[in-house]
Structure 1
Amino acid sequence: MFRGPSIPTVTVGDITDDAYILDVREADEWAAGHAPDAVHVPMMQIPARIDEIPEDRDVVVVCRVGGRSAQVVAFLQQNGRERTINLDGGMQMWEASGRPMTSEDGGAPRVL
Protein backbone atom coordinates (compact mmCIF):
# COMPACT_ATOMS: atom_id res chain seq x y z
CA MET A 1 0.00 0.00 0.00
CA PHE A 2 1.24 3.50 -0.82
CA ARG A 3 1.92 5.76 2.13
CA GLY A 4 2.53 9.46 1.72
CA PRO A 5 5.35 11.35 3.34
CA SER A 6 5.67 10.96 7.07
CA ILE A 7 4.06 13.75 9.08
CA PRO A 8 6.20 14.90 12.01
CA THR A 9 4.40 14.67 15.35
CA VAL A 10 4.97 15.87 18.88
CA THR A 11 3.40 14.73 22.14
CA VAL A 12 1.74 17.15 24.52
CA GLY A 13 4.61 16.83 26.98
CA ASP A 14 7.22 17.64 24.33
CA ILE A 15 5.78 20.98 23.18
CA THR A 16 8.32 23.71 23.85
CA ASP A 17 7.34 26.94 25.58
CA ASP A 18 8.17 29.00 22.51
CA ALA A 19 6.09 26.90 20.10
CA TYR A 20 3.29 28.58 18.15
CA ILE A 21 0.11 26.53 18.67
CA LEU A 22 -2.16 26.66 15.63
CA ASP A 23 -5.68 25.37 16.29
CA VAL A 24 -7.40 24.43 13.00
CA ARG A 25 -10.76 23.29 14.39
CA GLU A 26 -14.11 24.88 13.61
CA ALA A 27 -15.44 27.90 15.53
CA ASP A 28 -17.74 25.89 17.84
CA GLU A 29 -14.91 23.53 18.78
CA TRP A 30 -12.59 26.48 19.49
CA ALA A 31 -15.24 28.25 21.59
CA ALA A 32 -15.81 25.13 23.72
CA GLY A 33 -12.16 24.84 24.73
CA HIS A 34 -8.65 25.50 23.50
CA ALA A 35 -5.09 25.95 24.69
CA PRO A 36 -4.76 29.41 26.27
CA ASP A 37 -1.99 30.63 23.93
CA ALA A 38 -3.28 28.99 20.76
CA VAL A 39 -4.12 30.90 17.59
CA HIS A 40 -7.33 29.93 15.80
CA VAL A 41 -7.31 29.56 12.02
CA PRO A 42 -9.94 27.04 10.82
CA MET A 43 -8.58 24.41 8.45
CA MET A 44 -10.39 25.70 5.38
CA GLN A 45 -8.94 29.21 5.90
CA ILE A 46 -5.30 28.05 6.01
CA PRO A 47 -4.56 28.59 2.28
CA ALA A 48 -5.84 32.19 2.38
CA ARG A 49 -4.14 32.96 5.70
CA ILE A 50 -0.83 31.10 5.26
CA ASP A 51 1.14 34.34 5.59
CA GLU A 52 -0.08 34.66 9.20
CA ILE A 53 1.76 31.47 10.15
CA PRO A 54 5.30 32.08 11.39
CA GLU A 55 8.27 30.52 9.66
CA ASP A 56 10.86 31.35 12.31
CA ARG A 57 9.73 28.96 15.05
CA ASP A 58 8.04 25.61 15.55
CA VAL A 59 4.33 25.58 14.70
CA VAL A 60 2.37 22.85 16.48
CA VAL A 61 -0.88 22.23 14.59
CA VAL A 62 -3.81 20.86 16.58
CA CYS A 63 -7.36 19.65 15.92
CA ARG A 64 -9.60 17.31 17.91
CA VAL A 65 -7.68 14.03 17.45
CA GLY A 66 -4.96 14.75 14.87
CA GLY A 67 -6.47 13.96 11.46
CA ARG A 68 -7.27 17.45 10.20
CA SER A 69 -4.11 18.87 11.72
CA ALA A 70 -2.02 16.21 9.92
CA GLN A 71 -3.54 17.36 6.62
CA VAL A 72 -2.72 20.96 7.48
CA VAL A 73 0.87 20.04 8.40
CA ALA A 74 1.25 18.29 5.04
CA PHE A 75 -0.13 21.32 3.20
CA LEU A 76 2.05 23.77 5.11
CA GLN A 77 5.18 21.70 4.54
CA GLN A 78 4.42 21.47 0.82
CA ASN A 79 4.26 25.28 0.89
CA GLY A 80 7.63 25.80 2.53
CA ARG A 81 6.61 25.82 6.20
CA GLU A 82 9.11 23.18 7.28
CA ARG A 83 8.81 23.82 11.02
CA THR A 84 5.23 22.53 11.28
CA ILE A 85 4.44 19.57 13.55
CA ASN A 86 1.22 17.67 14.26
CA LEU A 87 0.06 17.34 17.88
CA ASP A 88 -0.30 13.61 18.46
CA GLY A 89 -3.80 12.94 19.83
CA GLY A 90 -4.95 16.52 19.33
CA MET A 91 -6.99 18.42 21.89
CA GLN A 92 -8.31 15.16 23.30
CA MET A 93 -4.77 14.29 24.41
CA TRP A 94 -4.19 17.88 25.57
CA GLU A 95 -7.25 17.66 27.82
CA ALA A 96 -6.41 14.12 29.03
CA SER A 97 -2.91 15.34 29.95
CA GLY A 98 -4.37 17.97 32.25
CA ARG A 99 -2.97 20.89 30.29
CA PRO A 100 -4.72 24.24 30.83
CA MET A 101 -7.67 25.13 28.64
CA THR A 102 -9.91 28.13 28.25
CA SER A 103 -13.33 28.54 26.65
CA GLU A 104 -15.01 31.35 24.78
CA ASP A 105 -18.64 30.29 25.34
CA GLY A 106 -18.98 30.84 29.09
CA GLY A 107 -18.95 27.12 29.90
CA ALA A 108 -16.28 24.97 31.44
CA PRO A 109 -13.50 24.29 28.90
CA ARG A 110 -14.06 21.02 27.04
CA VAL A 111 -13.18 19.30 23.79
CA LEU A 112 -16.00 18.85 21.28
Structure 2
Amino acid sequence: MEQIRPAQLNEWLALHADQNPLVLDVREPWELQTASVKAEGFELLNIPMQQIPASLNLLDEDRPIACLCHHGMRSMQVAVFLERQGYTQVSNLTGGIDLWTAERDPSVPRY
Protein backbone atom coordinates (compact mmCIF):
# COMPACT_ATOMS: atom_id res chain seq x y z
CA MET A 1 0.00 0.00 0.00
CA GLU A 2 1.18 3.43 -0.91
CA GLN A 3 1.78 5.96 1.85
CA ILE A 4 1.39 9.56 0.77
CA ARG A 5 1.81 12.74 2.76
CA PRO A 6 -0.74 15.54 2.34
CA ALA A 7 2.00 17.56 0.61
CA GLN A 8 2.22 14.79 -2.04
CA LEU A 9 -1.53 14.64 -2.68
CA ASN A 10 -1.40 16.84 -5.80
CA GLU A 11 1.09 14.45 -7.40
CA TRP A 12 -1.11 11.47 -6.47
CA LEU A 13 -4.17 13.23 -7.89
CA ALA A 14 -2.33 14.02 -11.13
CA LEU A 15 -1.35 10.35 -11.51
CA HIS A 16 -5.00 9.32 -11.15
CA ALA A 17 -6.75 12.32 -12.73
CA ASP A 18 -8.46 10.20 -15.39
CA GLN A 19 -9.88 7.82 -12.75
CA ASN A 20 -11.90 10.20 -10.55
CA PRO A 21 -9.80 9.86 -7.36
CA LEU A 22 -11.54 9.67 -4.00
CA VAL A 23 -10.40 10.87 -0.59
CA LEU A 24 -12.18 8.68 1.93
CA ASP A 25 -12.41 10.42 5.30
CA VAL A 26 -12.97 7.74 7.94
CA ARG A 27 -13.31 10.08 10.92
CA GLU A 28 -16.38 10.41 13.12
CA PRO A 29 -19.07 13.09 12.52
CA TRP A 30 -17.94 15.16 15.52
CA GLU A 31 -14.44 15.26 14.05
CA LEU A 32 -15.78 16.53 10.72
CA GLN A 33 -17.56 19.33 12.58
CA THR A 34 -14.26 20.22 14.24
CA ALA A 35 -12.08 20.14 11.12
CA SER A 36 -12.75 19.28 7.48
CA VAL A 37 -10.83 19.43 4.24
CA LYS A 38 -11.98 21.09 1.02
CA ALA A 39 -12.50 18.79 -1.96
CA GLU A 40 -10.24 20.34 -4.58
CA GLY A 41 -9.46 18.08 -7.52
CA PHE A 42 -10.99 15.00 -5.91
CA GLU A 43 -14.24 13.66 -4.57
CA LEU A 44 -14.49 13.62 -0.78
CA LEU A 45 -16.58 10.98 0.98
CA ASN A 46 -17.01 10.50 4.72
CA ILE A 47 -17.70 7.03 6.03
CA PRO A 48 -16.72 6.53 9.67
CA MET A 49 -14.32 3.63 10.15
CA GLN A 50 -16.81 1.38 11.90
CA GLN A 51 -19.27 1.76 8.99
CA ILE A 52 -16.81 0.80 6.23
CA PRO A 53 -17.65 -2.96 6.11
CA ALA A 54 -21.35 -2.22 5.64
CA SER A 55 -20.62 0.52 3.08
CA LEU A 56 -18.38 -1.30 0.61
CA ASN A 57 -21.11 -1.02 -2.04
CA LEU A 58 -20.40 2.75 -2.11
CA LEU A 59 -16.78 2.21 -3.15
CA ASP A 60 -15.50 1.13 -6.57
CA GLU A 61 -12.83 -1.59 -6.23
CA ASP A 62 -10.74 -0.15 -9.07
CA ARG A 63 -11.00 3.53 -8.18
CA PRO A 64 -8.01 5.30 -6.60
CA ILE A 65 -8.84 5.83 -2.92
CA ALA A 66 -6.75 7.79 -0.42
CA CYS A 67 -7.86 7.18 3.16
CA LEU A 68 -7.80 10.03 5.68
CA CYS A 69 -8.29 10.22 9.45
CA HIS A 70 -6.91 12.31 12.32
CA HIS A 71 -3.28 11.09 12.47
CA GLY A 72 -3.17 8.26 9.92
CA MET A 73 -3.73 5.16 12.04
CA ARG A 74 -7.44 4.52 11.45
CA SER A 75 -7.04 5.34 7.77
CA MET A 76 -4.18 2.82 7.58
CA GLN A 77 -6.43 0.14 9.10
CA VAL A 78 -9.19 0.97 6.61
CA ALA A 79 -6.72 0.92 3.70
CA VAL A 80 -5.45 -2.51 4.74
CA PHE A 81 -9.04 -3.74 5.08
CA LEU A 82 -9.93 -2.43 1.62
CA GLU A 83 -6.90 -4.10 0.07
CA ARG A 84 -7.92 -7.39 1.67
CA GLN A 85 -11.36 -6.96 0.11
CA GLY A 86 -9.82 -6.68 -3.36
CA TYR A 87 -9.51 -2.91 -3.77
CA THR A 88 -6.57 -2.36 -6.08
CA GLN A 89 -5.60 1.33 -5.74
CA VAL A 90 -5.66 2.20 -2.06
CA SER A 91 -3.35 4.70 -0.40
CA ASN A 92 -3.05 6.04 3.13
CA LEU A 93 -2.69 9.74 3.88
CA THR A 94 0.13 9.58 6.42
CA GLY A 95 -0.25 12.02 9.28
CA GLY A 96 -3.97 12.50 8.63
CA ILE A 97 -5.77 15.79 8.84
CA ASP A 98 -3.28 16.93 11.48
CA LEU A 99 -0.45 16.86 8.92
CA TRP A 100 -2.88 18.18 6.28
CA THR A 101 -3.09 21.39 8.31
CA ALA A 102 0.69 21.66 8.48
CA GLU A 103 1.41 20.79 4.84
CA ARG A 104 -1.64 21.81 2.77
CA ASP A 105 -4.11 24.10 4.47
CA PRO A 106 -3.29 25.94 7.71
CA SER A 107 -6.91 27.15 7.91
CA VAL A 108 -8.02 23.62 8.90
CA PRO A 109 -8.21 23.58 12.71
CA ARG A 110 -5.99 21.20 14.64
CA TYR A 111 -7.54 19.16 17.43
Give the TM-score normalised by the residue count of structure 2: 0.79
Tell me how far apart the structure 2 counterparts of residues 98 and 14 of structure 1 sit (CA, whole Å).
Answer: 9
Task: Give the deviation of 1:20 after TM superposition.
Answer: 0.6
Corresponding position of 2:64? 58
Task: Give the deviation of 1:13 after TM superposition.
Answer: 2.3
Instruction: Confirm or deny: 8 A CA contact 1:10 1:88 kept in the other structure.
Output: yes
What SS does the corresponding residue of 1:81 show, helix, strand or coil?
Answer: coil
Unpaired segments ≥5 residues, structure 2: none
Tell me how far apart the structure 2 counterparts of residues 79 and 65 of structure 1 sit (CA, whole Å).
Answer: 23
Corresponding position of 2:5? 11
Corresponding position of 1:110? 109
- Per-residue CA shift, 1:8-50, capped at 9, x if unaligned? 2111122215421000001100111222222110000000001
Give the TM-score normalised by the residue count of structure 1: 0.78
Corresponding position of 1:106? none
Task: Give the deviation of 1:100 after TM superposition.
Answer: 7.3
Tell me how far apart the structure 1 counterparts of residues 38 and 109 of structure 2 sit (CA, whole Å).
Answer: 13
Tell me how far apart the structure 1 counterparts of residues 2 and 79 of structure 2 sit (CA, whole Å).
Answer: 8
The CA RMSD measured in Å over matched residues stands at: 1.8
Corresponding position of 2:27? 25
Corresponding position of 2:79? 73
Tell me how far apart the structure 2 counterparts of residues 31 and 51 of structure 1 sit (CA, whole Å).
Answer: 25
Higher share in helix: 2
Distance 1:94 1:45, change over 3 A: same
Instruction: Confirm or deny: 8 A CA contact 1:77 1:84 kept in the other structure.
Output: yes
Corresponding position of 1:4? none
Deviant stretches of 4+, over 6 Å = none
Q: Which has the larger radius of gyration?
A: 1
